[in-house]
A = this chain, B = another copy of it.
Amino acid sequence: MKIMLTAKSRFSAAHRLLNPAWDDARNYEVFGSCYNPNGHGHDYTLEVTVEGDVDPDTGMILNVKDLKKLVEERVIAFVDHKNLNLDVPFLAGMNPTAEVLAREFWKILEPLIPAGRLYEIRVLETENNIVTVRR
């Protein structure tokens, strides 16, 4: 029996999808309106799931307040109300797809989870487009 805790956070960001090695025609063919020059944006949802044992003293895997604080300080503070192409050091030079966001958030959070282990990260770009990274 495996037990996991999920905390949901939200952030609002602008982005533009592009491969700078490609010309306009190729970029529009692949990324469509996501390549529009001045960008667009989303209200993202970020779900972080940690697995572990239930601490008999607290009845918790880890304190959801601590998990939310960690996600807030290490991820949300860097991306909320930001432009993902221009403002975020850990995304510099990357194409900010949901796949790339989820993968980079994993790299940041995985070494920092104070108890238990990181099991899964989900990034919902819209309610219809979702990326999951799982151990």
Q: Give the B-binding residues of A (Cβ under 8 A).
A: 1-10, 12-15, 17, 19, 21, 30-34, 36, 38-43, 49, 54, 57-61, 63-65, 80-83, 85-87, 94-100, 102-103, 106, 126-135
Contacts and interface: CB of A to CB of B under 8 A. Distances in A.
Secondary structure type dominating chain A contacts: mixed
A15 to B, nearest CB: 7
Q: How many copies of the chain does the oligomer comprise?
A: 6
28 contacts: A1-B133, A1-B135, A2-B135, A3-B133, A3-B134, A5-B98, A5-B131, A6-B131, A7-B128, A7-B129, A8-B128, A8-B130, A13-B40, A14-B14, A14-B39, A17-B59, A30-B63, A36-B87, A38-B86, A39-B41, A40-B80, A43-B126, A54-B103, A58-B97, A59-B97, A59-B100, A60-B97, A60-B99
